[in-house]
Every structure is written in structure tokens, then in C-alpha cells.
Chain A
Amino acid sequence: MVQIGIIVVFGIILMPVFIMIFASIFGKPRDLRVTGIFLGLLGGLILLGVVLIFLASIVLSFLSP
């Protein structure tokens, strides 16, 4: 049985995000270069967030007794 969190997060919450990405690719006016910049930025910022969390963890581990 699929856990409720999987349905809530990936089935409901991220649904408008998926639609937004779909619309940015296929919606008019079409401009894949701008869409590429947008999706690259989106992915890059998420990656930056993940990296910052790991970085914060490393830095704080030096400070913690």
C-alpha cells in the first residue's frame, strides 16, 4: 500500500508544479531557451538548498562541542 506522504507530496502538492513545468515547456509563446533558463534555475536553486544544508551541517559540526 502506498504511504499517505507519497500521495500527499508527489500526488497532490507537486501536481501544480508539474503542470507549471509542463506549461513552461509547451505553453505559448514557446521559447525553449528561456524555459531552459527557468528550469535550470529551479533545479539549481533546489540543489543549492541541499548543498547549503550539508554545508551548514559541516560548519556547525566544527563549532559544536
Chain B
Amino acid sequence: MRRSRILLVLALLVPIILAAAPLTNARLGGEGSGIRQYDCGSSCHVTPSTAVVTMSAPSLTVEKGGSVTVTVSVSGGNSGPILGVMLVASLSPDPTSLPSAAGWTITADPSGSGTNNYYEISSYAGLVSLQWSLTAPLTDGNYPLFARVHHGGGGEAQFANNEAGLSFLVGTGGISGAPVVDIISPSDWEYVEDVITVSASIQSSTPIAYALLQIDGVVVDNKSQEPFQWDVNTTEYANGELSLNVTAYDTNGSFGHKEITVNVNNPEAEKAVLNWVWMAVGGVAIILGIVAVALFMRKKPKEEGVGEPKLSSTERELLAPLLNTKLPGYALFALSMAGMVYFIYTWYSLIISGHVATGMRDYGVPLSGTPWGIYIVSFIWLVGIAHGGIIISASIRVMKFEKYRPVARMAEVLTCVMLLMAGLTILMDLGKPDRIDNVLRYYWSQIGTSPFAWDLTVILLYTTLSVTYLYLLMRDDLAYLKDRLPKFKWIYSILLFGYREDEKKKIDQISWWIALTLLVLVALLSGGVIPWIFSLIAAQAGWFGAIQGPYYLIAALSSGIASVIVIASIMRTVFKWEKYIKLEVFTGLGRVLGILVLIYLWFVKHEQLTMQFAAPTVEHAISNALLTGEYAVFFWPIVASLLFAFAYLEMAGTVFKKYSILGTTITATIILVAFWVKRFLIVIPSLRYPRLELYPVGTYTPTLVEYSMVSGTIVIAAFLFLLFMKVFPIMDVKEPVTSPAEATAGDRDQMESDAQRTPNP
């Protein structure tokens, strides 16, 4: 009885288990995933389906042995849960339809772990996308791949094909024996940390010219001989997937490559702590230094001797930056110092990583970049300001423009600081800055033919003359202030070596000659150092031509005057120097600036007309890029802002009833920004469109590192300027241009109205 009950239960359970089996078993179609030819050995479904099968791949061109990813998407059709998707090399019902028969190697099927060309899923709900990774055949030719699907488990079993397939062009167009690259270590999808060694084997019948290692699409190194191994510090990359690509070029120009992906898995906390500790220590050191300096500076005046010469009220006003630095001044000083530390840190990181951290790349294949970027843009801008500054100062001294004398020293300091920053920018731009001494080692062999060697000569000459000029004109003031400012006495005494009271006439004579020399030099240099590099290079489209000299000179003068206006305006407001830096300084400089800006636009019009009319193709392409292409969004706003600047500056004193120094300062700032962007449009488009048509159009996108470095030079310039102002008089003290009593009635009225408008700093 009991046995018959057990048999009864079993008789009931067996059919239930058998019925439930298809719902839980992975081999739903009775076959499961596997290697199948097109017709499944005559066992495939034969009823057509309404399913839509599409295929896609990132590229249909692939090197021999290169990696290919094929995505097959299926939608609609039989809504049953079972779906088999097949990747085949042909639509023939025989073994030649297998991908392997055509030379393909499946390295991963949609499961990620298998290498099957037929893959089955049990949860099809009307839409699915599956991906295969394959290695291309090793011989040149066209190699198609097709997708085929089979439905089951729902209604009637059906099939659908992607008849068009994907046709891959494998190889380099008929050159046989292209290098075959394999990355031996690390393995694909391996988890890595710290420093790893990327090791590649390259097989080629022709000698290898060089092999490139690319990490996430960026070339980090190249080697021309074995071993093809690279040490990669993975801590320099974010955790997660990282693609490694080795591309080998043989001496015939044929190439092959292999790409793998690794998972970077470095301990996050350790990296963060190292950076933050470094930054925190630097920050604390800066704050402590500032506090110490501030305390030192503030205590000293109380210890001044009683019997020493006193400063007059005018002198005290003119020496306000030295005597009365307030908290905002120290804060600005601290901020610029912090920026300087950040700049040093960024530059150190850049030296360690190399220029791969920037957006700059070499011309032509395979990198298709631009070898210069915003460093050179900034260099031109800085040199322009420096040239403009020294022209203003020299003109004031040589042509006796007395009313502008209060801003002469500001222009001189600006020149010296900007020239130093221009030199620093060039150093930043060098891939191996430690080889800077080569410009001196090979100076005499290069000076005959290299405009770069001429540049070194001139920059050094400019800097030397500018510093000498600034210093000589300051000697009289330093001697006068030596006993009046005891806390700076030791610095002034050192700088006043060989001083005698009767030297002033000779100093004035020498200074006049230096000023004249600087003015003549600017004219002889075709408007600055830069046109030497740009206008003389016939091979470079967009640069070559005699217009560059005066074109750059006008830009330099405009930038210089705009900078002086901005600085003078800030000083006037902060230190309440309305009676020294008079209104007429701004009206005069503003009008000259307006005219210069208009002349610059006139040059722009001539340049673009020449490039548009019957210029060589590449010149035309560059002009099109500016006028109607990708750079039009920068070009036309620059033109508009310069036109606005001209209109405002020329109308400010006539049409508008009241002259606004703030308005002039804002306009000058707009001009400075516009000229920086205009320099970008001079440098980058010409480098992106090489004259040699052999080279493709390049790409360039500045990175955060580049923006940080360029901003850093501005911050350092600000720091040096502030430091100068803290130690030396920024205006003539012994012989100020105007005493309060000499201020005109108009100035007094203006001062009053300015005082009403301007909040106390």
C-alpha cells in the first residue's frame, strides 16, 4: 500500500519536474550557446520572423590582428523568452560561415567569459543588445560579419537575419607584412595597481621604425627598438578602466596595434592624503610666513629714530604702499603667494608627467595635434604688454610728457615683470626645460640663421635695459628715502653703491639714451620679438608676411596702454592718489588707446581680405575658420568688443558729459582680454591647418594644467608687482609731478565727484 502511494507521488512529480525543467535550465533551445554554422547543421528554425536585427561597430577599418567589437541589437519578433543570436562570416549553410573559418577569432562572447559565435538568452522581452569582441584576420581584405537570430519558447519558432551585415576592411590597403602586435602583460581586464610593466611582442617582416604606447588614447611614449616595455605608474590615473594600446609602425609605414583594457585599483585614501598633506603643509608655511612678515612690518615704524628726517604729508601719501599696508593688502599678498605655490606644484607635476598632460601634440599622423598651445599665446600677450609698457615709459621720458610721469614707473615695473614672465612661459613650453642651457651652448653656431637665437639675444637685451633704466631713475629717490625709511635702509644702501649727490645730471643723460635706444629697438625689431618668428617662416600659413611687424606693434602698444590704465586706475582708487594721477592721464591714454584699437581693426580687415581673395588654399581655410567656421564665435566678439572700445574711448570725453575713469578701466580690461583671445586665433588655427597637405587638420584643446600654468604666471606677476610696491616707491617721491596745491580747479571738481562715486577701499 505504502509502495503504491510512493509510486503515485512519483508518477505525479515526474511530469511536473519535466514540465518545469525548460524554465530553469540554461539550455533552453535544447542546445544552448556554442559554436554553430549558419544552418545549425540543418536544425535551425525556418519560419521567418518580424524581428529587426541591427549591427554596429566603432569602426569598419581595422588593422590585421586588430581588435573589433560588434554589437547586435534585436527588437520585436516572437515575444517568447528564448532568443539565440548568431554571428557568422557568411550566409552560406556550410562550415565556411563560421567566423573562425574566415580568420576571425572571438575573444569574448556576450557572456564575457566564453568565445562562442552562438549565444542564447532565456529572458528576451522584445529588445536586447549583445556584444562580441573579436580579433581581425591576419591578411588584408574585406571581411563581412552577419547576425542571425532564432526565437523559441513562445509561439512558433522563427528566425531573422541581418542580410546587409558589416563589411570590415582589414589591413592597410594591400601592404603585406604589417606588424602584428600582442600585449603580453598585463592581461586584458586584469586588475592592476602601483607601477605596472606593459610588455608587447611585435612580429614584422620589415624592421620596426617605432612603437607607441597610448593610454586612454593619449600617446605617452615611443620606442624604436626592443624591448618594447614600458613602466606605467597607475597612481597617476583614476581608478577604473584604463585602455592600453601599443601601435607599431614598420619602416614601410605599415602599422598594427593591440589594445587591451585594465582595471586600475589603487588605494584611494593613500593618494588623497599625500596630496592634501603636501598642500596643507605648503598652506600653513605660507600663512606663518605672512603673519611673520606682517608683524615685522608693523612693529618697525614704532622704532623710528627721533632725530631722523621726517616725511612730508605728500611723501607719506606717495609712500602709502610702503607705510600703510592694510589687511586687504596683506590678504592679496598672501593670495598671490598661495597661487605661486600652486603654480610651482603644478609645474613640478607637469615636469614629472611630461607634456602629455597638456593638450599639445605633434603635427601630422599619428597624433594630429598642434605643437604650440596657450603657453605661446600667453607669451605673445606678455611680450606685447612689456613692449607697450616700455614704449610708454620711454616716450614719457624722451618726449617730456610731464603729466604722464606718475605712471612712468608703473609702466617700467610692468615691463620688467612681464618680460620675466614671458621668459618663464617659454621655459614652461619646453618639453625638457632642463635643456634650456642649449640655447647658450649652441648660441654662436645658431645666431647666423636661427630667429630663436635672435629672440634670446633681444629678450635678454630688453630685460637688461629695462631693469637698468628702472634702477637708474630710482637711485635719486632711494638716496632721498634712505634716511627717511629706516626699515628699508639696508636694502637701499646696498642698491645705492657708488652713489654721489652730484650724479643726477649724468644719470638723466644716460637714462635719456636708454629710453631712446628702447624706442629705436622696438622699431628695428619689426614691432617686437614675436614677428621675427612668425613673419619670417614661409612654411607656416597664416603667419608669413610683412604685415606682421606693424600689426604686432599696434597690438603691443594697445595691450601696454590698457595695462597701464588698469594699474593706474586701481592705484588711484586704493591709495587715493587723485591729485597725483590726474584725470587727464586717463583721458589722454584712453584716446590714444582708442585710435590704436581702430588701427588694429584696420590691419585685421586687410589681413582677412588678402586671405580670402586669391590666397593659397590653406590660407583660405584658416580665414574661413575665423570668419565663418569654428573660430567665428571668438573672432566676431573680438571685433565687436574692439569696435565698442574705440567708440567708447573716443566718445568718452566728448559725447558723454562726464568722463568715467571706471568706464575707461573696464574698457581697457575688455581690450586686454580681447587681445589674449586674438593671440589664440593667431597661433592655433595656423598650426591646426599645416601648409603641407600631407598633414591632416589637427586638433587642440587646452587642458586644466595649461590654464593653471598660464594663470600662475599672471599671479606671479601680481606678486612681484606687489612686492616691488611694498619695498620701493612706485612714483617719483623726491620730485612728484603735482603737489596738492597745484591741482587745477577742474581736477578738484573731478576729485570730489570721484570721491562721491568711489567707495572707500
A and B associate? yes
Q: Which residues of A contact B (CB under 8 A)?
A: 3-6, 8-9, 12-17, 19-20, 23-24, 27-31, 33-35, 37-38, 41-42, 45-46, 49-50, 53-54, 56-58, 60-61, 63-65
Give the CA-CA distance A5 to B464 in the complex, in Å.
21
Which of A30, A58, A61 has the most CB atoms of chain B within a 10 A radius of its CB?
A: A61
Let me know if B509 is at the binding interface, CB within 8 A.
Answer: yes
Q: Is the CB of A42 within 8 A of B464?
A: yes
Interface residues of B in 409-443 (CB under 8 A from A): 427, 432-437, 439-440
Which chain A residue lies CB-closest to B472? A38
Give the CA-CA distance A30 to B457 in the complex, in Å.
29
Which chain B residue lies CB-closest to A7? B448
Q: Is the CB of B448 within 8 A of A57?
A: no
Q: Is the CB of B464 within 8 A of A16?
A: no
Which residues of B are found within 8 Å of A49, using beta-carbon distances? 460, 463-464
Task: Sample 13 A-B pairs with CB under 8 A, ordered by A number.
Answer: A4-B448, A5-B446, A5-B451, A9-B447, A9-B457, A13-B457, A13-B525, A27-B509, A31-B503, A34-B498, A38-B472, A46-B461, A50-B460
Q: Is the CB of B460 within 8 A of A46?
A: yes
Q: Is the CB of A57 within 8 A of B468?
A: no
Which residues of A are found within 8 Å of B352, using beta-carbon distances? 63, 65
Which chain A residue lies CB-closest to B424? A56
User: Which residue of B437, B447, B448, B524 is within 8 Å of A16 (Cβ)?
Assistant: B524
Q: Is the CB of B448 within 8 A of A3?
A: yes
Let me know if B516 is at the binding interface, CB within 8 A.
Answer: yes
Which residues of B are found within 8 Å of A42, using beta-carbon distances? 464-465, 468
Q: Is the CB of A53 within 8 A of B437?
A: yes
Which residues of A are found within 8 Å of B458, using beta-carbon distances? 13
User: Which residue of B432, B449, B510, B525 is within 8 Å of A24 (Cβ)?
Assistant: B510
Which chain A residue lies CB-closest to B431? A64
A55 nearest CB across to chain B (Å): 9
Which chain B residue lies CB-closest to A59? B434
B427 nearest CB across to chain A (Å): 7
Give the CA-CA distance A37 to B351 in the complex, in Å.
40
Give the CA-CA distance A14 to B468 in the complex, in Å.
17
Which of A23, A30, A33 has the most CB atoms of chain B within a 10 A radius of its CB?
A: A23
Which residues of B are found within 8 Å of A45, using beta-carbon distances? 463-464, 467-468
Q: Is the CB of B449 within 8 A of A63?
A: no
Which residues of B are found within 8 Å of A35, using beta-carbon distances? 506, 510
Interface residues of B in 678-699 (CB under 8 A from A): none
Which chain B residue lies CB-closest to A52? B423
Which residues of B are found within 8 Å of A46, using beta-carbon distances? 460-461, 464
Which residues of A are found within 8 Å of B436, using beta-carbon distances? 53, 56-57, 60
Q: Is the CB of A56 within 8 A of B440?
A: no
Interface residues of B in 460-507 (CB under 8 A from A): 460-461, 463-465, 467-468, 471-472, 497-498, 500, 503, 505-507
Give the CA-CA distance A23 to B514 in the complex, in Å.
10
A52 nearest CB across to chain B (Å): 9
Which residues of B are found within 8 Å of A20, using beta-carbon distances? 513-514, 516-517
Beyond A41-B471, A56-B427, is A5–B525 a contact (Cβ under 8 Å)?
no
Let me know if B23 is at the binding interface, CB within 8 A.
Answer: no
Interface Cβ pair total, 8 Å cutoff: 120
Q: Is the CB of B433 within 8 A of A56?
A: yes
Q: Is the CB of A63 within 8 A of B454?
A: no
Q: Which residues of B contact A (CB under 8 A)?
A: 348, 351-352, 427, 432-437, 439-440, 446-451, 453-454, 457-458, 460-461, 463-465, 467-468, 471-472, 497-498, 500, 503, 505-507, 509-510, 513-514, 516-517, 520-521, 524-525
Beyond A13-B521, A17-B461, is A64–B434 a contact (Cβ under 8 Å)?
yes
User: Which residue of B449, B461, B467, B516 is within 8 Å of A4 (Cβ)?
Assistant: B449
Which residues of A are found within 8 Å of B439, using beta-carbon distances? 53
Which residues of B are found within 8 Å of A28, using beta-carbon distances? 509
Give the CA-CA distance A62 to B539 in the complex, in Å.
37
Which residues of B are found within 8 Å of A29, using beta-carbon distances? 505-506, 509
Which residues of A are found within 8 Å of B446, using beta-carbon distances? 5
Give the CA-CA distance A3 to B433 in the complex, in Å.
29
Give the CA-CA distance A42 to B464 in the complex, in Å.
6
User: Which residue of B447, B498, B524 is within 8 Å of A33 (Cβ)?
Assistant: B498
Which residues of A are found within 8 Å of B448, using beta-carbon distances? 3-6
Q: Is the CB of B497 within 8 A of A16?
A: no
A33 nearest CB across to chain B (Å): 7
Give the CA-CA distance A7 to B466 in the complex, in Å.
24
Q: Is the CB of A16 within 8 A of B521?
A: yes
Give the CA-CA distance A64 to B430 in the complex, in Å.
12
A16-B517, A28-B509 known; 20 new pairs, CB 8 Å cut-off, are A5-B449, A17-B461, A17-B465, A17-B517, A20-B514, A20-B516, A23-B509, A23-B513, A24-B510, A24-B513, A29-B506, A31-B506, A45-B463, A45-B464, A46-B460, A50-B460, A53-B440, A56-B436, A60-B436, A64-B433
Q: Is the CB of A5 within 8 A of B450?
A: yes
User: Which residue of B433, B451, B464, B513 is within 8 Å of A60 (Cβ)?
Assistant: B433
Which chain B residue lies CB-closest to A6? B448
Beyond A29-B506, A53-B439, is A9–B434 a contact (Cβ under 8 Å)?
no
Which residues of B are found within 8 Å of A41, using beta-carbon distances? 468, 471-472
Give the CA-CA distance A57 to B245 in the complex, in Å.
34
Beyond A5-B447, A45-B467, is A34–B503 a contact (Cβ under 8 Å)?
yes
Give the CA-CA distance A38 to B514 in the complex, in Å.
11
Which residues of A are found within 8 Å of B524, using beta-carbon distances? 12-13, 15-16
Q: Is the CB of A38 within 8 A of B510?
A: yes
Give the CA-CA distance A19 to B435 in the complex, in Å.
35
Which residues of B are found within 8 Å of A61, using beta-carbon distances? 434
A57 nearest CB across to chain B (Å): 4
Give the CA-CA distance A27 to B436 in the complex, in Å.
39
Give the CA-CA distance A20 to B521 in the complex, in Å.
12
B341 nearest CB across to chain A (Å): 16
Q: Is the CB of B506 within 8 A of A34?
A: yes
Beyond A16-B524, A34-B510, A56-B427, is A64–B432 a contact (Cβ under 8 Å)?
yes
Which residues of A are found within 8 Å of B434, using beta-carbon distances? 57-58, 60-61, 63-64
Give the CA-CA distance A50 to B437 in the complex, in Å.
9
Give the CA-CA distance A17 to B461 in the complex, in Å.
9
Give the CA-CA distance A49 to B348 in the complex, in Å.
22
Give the CA-CA distance A12 to B507 in the complex, in Å.
26
Give the CA-CA distance A49 to B513 in the complex, in Å.
22
Which 9 residue pairs spanning A and B have beta carbons closest together?
Answer: A3-B448, A57-B437, A60-B434, A61-B434, A31-B506, A34-B506, A5-B448, A45-B464, A16-B520
Beyond A9-B447, A31-B506, is A63–B348 a contact (Cβ under 8 Å)?
yes
Which residues of B are found within 8 Å of A50, using beta-carbon distances? 440, 460
Which chain A residue lies CB-closest to B523? A16
